Structure 1
Amino acid sequence: MERILTGDRTTGKLHLGHYVGSLQNRVKLQNEYDTFIILADVQALTTHFERPELINKSIYDVAIDNLSIGLDPNKITMFLQSKISAIAELTVFYSMIVSVNSLRHNPTIKTEAKQYGYDDLSYGFLGYPVSQAADITFCNADLVPVGDDQIPHIEQSRKIARRFNESYGKGKEFIKEPKALLSNNPRLIGLDGNSKMGKSLGNAVFLSDNAEEVNEKIKLATTDVNRIKITDKGNPEICTVNKYHEVFNESEHKNINEMCRKATIGCVACKKLLANEINSILNPFREKRGYYEEHKEEVRDIILTGSEKANIVGNKTIEEIKKAMNIYI
């Protein structure tokens, strides 16, 4: 089987945007690929270095989110980034062959720096793509499931692998050039109509939310601001709730659109329909979540067992790389 590397930064619980964008597909991919899931706690420090307690708690939150949506610990290798020595070593080796200018011009770095309001970038933040290249290549992953906004990172990883092979491989590709496995899944906007659903933006439905929390959040979701009374005809094209119906209530989406335009359904009723659909999706996850939250030692064992396996794979990679670089005695 080909191997994929995917995962999440441990900066808080995952939300519906993660589910639609990657997690839903991740469950399917585990049956088709040798799947490595990284809990990226070191990379979480690039933006949350002042909140280590959040990162520690989030290790369990993110792991449970992944397990609750259907990832099978017997099919996947879930591991903690900070426990994999090969990743740390590769990050150092790779940093020797990557220029600062190439990192500064990385469009994803530019976007995220602006998002977090960073004028003076830390070494760790600027070098995030180098660390990510180490994440991907320590296990010689063939594919990395990503959205189109992450393609620059994958291209950077491919360039690093290519240059490393050219410098030390002597014609041998001992580090695979990873390929992007693009998803056609839609990008879910925030409940406030923001172009992005974010953990810290106050516009997300989390996978861990209970039914009442989902109901209350959907009640506050942005609709057509010009529709004041129930008798006013709406414009679903500018309604956030409508966009959610398109994703989570596809079979009724067209009908709801027509009713909105004809003012035969009000925003309150429309939101209730959406909340019901989302809760019906989350209900099976809640049952699994309840189990894992009561058995955190089992979650810990899954992470540690996966980390042991990942270290075996990574140590073999590092051994070959050091021999190629003549860094051994």
Structure 2
Amino acid sequence: MTAPNSTSTSSTSYDTALQRSQKIWEKIEKDPSGLRMLTGDRPTGALHIGHWFGSLRNRVRLQDAGVETWLIVADYQVITDRDVIGDIQGSVRELLTDYLAAGIDPERSTIFTHSAVPALNQLLLPFLSLVTQPELERNPTVKAELQAAGKSAMGGLMLTYPVHQAADILFCHGNLVPVGKDQLPHIEQTRVIARRFNERYAGGVEFFPEPDALLSEAPTILGLDGEHKMSKSRGNTVMLKMDEAETLKKIKKAKTDADRQITFDPEGRPEVSNLLTIASQATGRTPEDIAEEVGDRGAGTLKIFTAEALNAHLAPLRARRAELEKDPGYLMQVLRAGNERANAEADATLQKVREFMGMVY
């Protein structure tokens, strides 16, 4: 099996993943034992509300439901599509602060950095032997990331990006990965690698699990331009760490349209609908209900409503974040503990891989 390379195949894969996701949610509600979630982010700076509503809030929910949680701060992956990596340590600290402020509990979750776990990265060599160049080149997510980075030539690190992600997931025997629809090809590639390793090197033993994608139930949050994904590089974000005044200022600059009657129409009015979606996520009300309340009072009223709702929703998170920023030593202590646990797990996995491959000397 390979990553989907046609509309029909993609549709079939999505439907299958959706069915599996529904069964997984049922299992989580009844008994989450045996589930190990691996997910994470590239440390390119502090997180924004797109991260919060799209994934981070759901990770906290899964952690609190009893799912074993592993979060990777993928610092090595910053260099897949960037010529200048910037202040990596500062970005890692910002990301870690956002994680803890959001409710990730280091007593119940493992947070670690990519570069601090050598055995994880050493899994790349046997894993690369299990995939072909055409399979990697067909991965639609890699192509999209290359285009988003504004690059025409694909570097070796970008080409093998799906294999890196497979190592991230499989080193700790992760069997559950929360993703959006666009990330399904990566999970499928990981499943292929796990299956091929078990067949080729482990003699049919199911050493690596074939992980399932847990599809996000959250709607897509666009940037404040209403056109692109929320992205720090585009300047169309509301950062989690912003204060109330900064949030209001950013929301007031959001792109809308000239129609004073506010309606929820994602296809016809994406900018207005995006603000309604943000307000909906912050309040728990439906976008249609909020649109009806704002009525013909126009985009200005909608922007103020959205900013106030967002500020109220994020107030507890921002308060925790302010406290965490006062104690950088604690942040590094959390990271060192997570790195230690991740290294122990990776070393044990690599040792077993060497045994399977007859490479213990």
Residues in 2 aligned to 1:283 and 1:160: alpha-carbon distance in whole angstroms: 43
TM-superposed deviation, 1:145: 0.9
2:132 maps to what in 1? 99
Please identify, of 153-162 and 1-10, the stretch whose mean Cα deviation from structure 2 is larger.
1-10
Kept in 2, the 8 Å contact 1:249–1:274? The answer is no
SS at match of 2:222: coil
**How has the CA–CA distance of structure 1 residues 182 and 253 changed in structure 2, closer, same or farther, with 3 Å as cutoff?**
closer
**Residues 108-162 of structure 1, C-alpha deviations (whole Å, 9 max, x = no match):** 0111111112211110111111110000000001111111111100000110111
Query: Are 1:11 and 1:48, in contact at CA under 8 Å, matched by a contact in 2?
Result: no
Structure 2 equivalent of residue 280 of structure 1: 312
For 1:60 and 1:221, locate their aligned partners in 2 and report how far apart those are by CA, in whole Å.
29
1:251 deviation in Å?
2.7
Deviation sequence 1:30-65 (CA, Å, 0-9, x none): 1321111100000111123412x3322110011111
Displacement after TM superposition at 1:234 (Å): 4.5
* Corresponding residue of 1:268: 300
Corresponding residue pairs, total? 321
1:308 aligns with 2:349: no
Aligned partners of 2:233 and 2:199: how far apart in 1?
42
Q: Secondary structure at the match of 2:153?
A: coil
TM-score by length of structure 1 reads: 0.93
The letter for the 1-side match of 2:253 is L
Corresponding residue of 2:360 = 328
Please tell me the residue identity of whatever aligns with 1:245. A
More deviation, 131-140/281-290:
281-290
Equivalent residues of 2:264, 2:287 under 8 A apart: no
SS at match of 1:71: coil
Displacement, 1:254? 3.3
Q: Which residue does the alignment assign to 2:73?
A: 39
Contact 2:176 2:214 (8 Å CA) reproduced: yes
Partner of 1:134: 167
- Given the alignment of the two structures, is residue 124 of structure 1 paired with residue 157 of structure 2, yes or no? yes
Listed as ranges, the matches of 1:83-98 within 5 Å are 83-98=116-131
| AA aligned opposite 1:254 | E
Q: Secondary structure at the match of 1:191?
A: coil
Is residue 2:275 matched to residue 1:241?
A: yes
1:59 paired with 2:92, answer yes
Aligned to 2:8: none
Q: Hey, what does 1:203 align to over in structure 2?
A: 236
Q: Which runs of 5+ in 1 are unaligned?
A: none
**Residues 35, 77 of structure 1: 8 Å contact kept:** yes
CA shift digits 1:85-111 (9 cap, x unpaired): 121110122112211111111010111
Matched, 1:193 2:226: yes
Q: CA RMSD in A?
A: 1.5
User: What is the TM-score with the length of structure 2 in the denominator?
Assistant: 0.85
Alignment correspondent of 1:115:
148
In structure 1, how many angstroms separate the alpha carbons of the residues matched to 2:160 and 2:319? Answer: 39
Partner-residue secondary structure (3-state), 2:306:
helix
Q: Does 1:167 align with 2:200?
A: yes
Aligned residues of 2:81 and 2:146 also touching (Cα < 8 A)? no
Percentage identity across paired residues of the two chains: 38
Sort the Cα spacing of 1:287 and 1:260 in 2 relative to 1 into closer, same or farther, 3 A: closer
